[in-house]
Amino acid sequence: MERYKSSTEKSKVLWDRAVKLFPGGVSHNIRQFGLPFTGAYPPYISHGKDSRVWDVDGNEYVDWWMTHYSQILGHNNSEVRRAIEESVESGIHFGVPNEAQVEYGEKLLDAIPMLEKMRFTSTGSESTMYAVRLARIFTGRKLIGKTLGGWHGGNDALTYHMSHPYTDNPFYNGVSFDYNDQESLDEMLKKHGEDLAAIIVEPIIGAGGGIPPEPGFLQYIREETESRGILLIFDEIITGFRFRYGTAGDGLFGVKPDLLTLGKAAAGGMPLGVYGGREDVMNLATPGAKGGRWVGGGTFSSHPLTMTASLAVLSQLKNRKKDYSRLNKMGDKFRERLNDMLDEMQASVIGTGYGSINFISCLSSKIEGPLVTPSQLGKLFDHDQQDIFQSFLMQERVLGYHGLGALSFSHTAVDIELTLNGIRNAIELSKEFNS
């Protein structure tokens, strides 16, 4: 990593200051990007435009991280920036209802009719936390089910069984099953079905490998939860407005949950969380509701800058409905070329994902047969090799995590070629590092 370190001296100075202040040098674990494992440090980004970002030393990167997949329009979108600038002239935040909040809620309802009632928060973690709380209040049950490898934010209700071998104990009343594994789901329901308040799933598994549902699997979850009085929550913080204008669960796969959560692409880089769905469930969040409990939003919920920016995002995404097909095809074609290249290099690395989301995973050995469950990937996932590969990919000026990340409407064919070349070089450098 000498080439990386010699070109990022200002980032190194900032890193040395940061490690004295923050545990691990960061305020979000994954923002180390695996770089300390190879004796390096993350780049400190100063600005971005479209599909590129620049660090404080002036180095330019093809960005796949895209603000945790949020920047579907690309960095520094002119219409979003203009909306924020106009809003901030009137003030920053007042902690009271605002007009943009109502307008944004109406646009969400128009795009996603199942959002009969909704609440806004500042983060995805808050939204999944409150959705789970509502499920417990509504059903009178405490237990929550989720998928192995499923990431739903840092709240106590859901932060467990995220990494193989999934032996960590839940903080509070949680069980899990393997995604796309009907037998695993049946076993969980047989043991715990009467005690489950809700099952929460991402329609396409995110941090667990970008794994889409097998035909009929989401429908099976819907049927089984409905027959047992278990609420089904779709966590669409990553998938909402990512593959189409609206949701993935209902819009792509034809399965309607009871509740869903949104964020990321729905706000284009501003801090937003949304939870909502069935009116009879959401009404328990009404102040003074009979049988209700405290279900809130937070000091910075419905922040005027977020609301106005999000309106600008949805307006553009609605106008670009037909462009989603091109974006998803670009991601699928990239993944096809990536795996062909990895096979040619005989690398124990695999590209997974769906549409515009792409993951690259380093493995201890090749996966035999199709990859359909997080457990298959988890058993072979090599964390040390992943950090080494991730570090060299950063040296190749490709910014990503979980191997890579997500495309935006601003990514180009040139970005694809630079990324594939960077991946090839990063794998070759990883081999040299290991030898």
At residue 367, does pLDDT exceed 90?
Answer: no
Distances (CA, A) of 319 to 7, 127, 313: 41, 27, 10
Which domain CATH number covers 378? Answer: 3.90.1150.10
31 lies in the same domain as 146: no
- Order of strands across the sheet that contains 259-263: 117-121, 273-277, 259-263, 231-235, 196-201, 143-147, 174-177
DSSP string for 51-86: TEEEETT--EEEESSHHHHT-TT-BT-HHHHHHHHH
pLDDT tens digit string along 193-218? 999 999 999 999 998 899 999 999 99
Specify the pLDDT at position 176. 97
Domain of residue 361 covers 2-76+322-434
End residue of a domain, out of 319, 336, 360: 319
Residue 100 sits in the same domain as residue 43: no
CA distance 247 to 249: 6
Q: What is the CATH number of the domain that holds 293?
A: 3.40.640.10
Average pLDDT over residues 222-248: 98
Pick the range with the lowest mean pLDDT from 227-231, 311-315, 370-374: 370-374
Identify each DSSP E strand in 259-417 by its residue range: 259-263, 273-277, 349-354, 357-362, 398-399, 405-406
* Boundary residue ending a domain (291, 319, 347): 319
Residue 148 tokens, joined: 């192995």
114 has pLDDT over 90: yes
Residue 377 — very low, low, confident or very high, per pLDDT cuts 50/70/90?
Answer: very high
Based on the fold, state whether residues 14 and 99 are members of the same structural domain. Answer: no
| Mean pLDDT score of the chain | 96
Same-domain status, 242 and 284: yes
- Do 112 and 246 lie in one domain? The reply is yes
State the pairing for strand pair 259-263/231-235: parallel
Residues 345 and 295 in one domain: no
Q: Are residues 247 and 381 in the same domain?
A: no
Which of 273, 295, 319 is the C-terminal boundary of a domain? Answer: 319
Lowest mean pLDDT among 26-30, 289-293, 376-380: 289-293
**Reported confidence tier of residue 368, pLDDT bands at 50, 70, 90:** confident
Residue 433 pLDDT greater than 90, yes or no: no
Query: Taking 90 as the threshold, does the pLDDT of residue 109 lie above it?
Result: yes
pLDDT given at position 375 = 94
Q: Structurally, how many domains does the chain consist of?
A: 2
Domain match, 257 and 190 both: yes
For 192, 277, 299, the CA distances from 432, given in Å and listed in that order, are 49, 52, 50
Tell me: do 340 and 430 sit in the same domain.
yes
Same domain (yes/no): 179, 284: yes
Query: Residue 217: what pLDDT?
Result: 98
Q: Do residues 16 and 112 both lie within one domain? A: no
Q: Is the pLDDT of residue 350 over 90?
A: yes
Average pLDDT of 354-380? 93
Within this chain, do residues 113 and 161 fall inside the same structural domain, yes or no?
yes
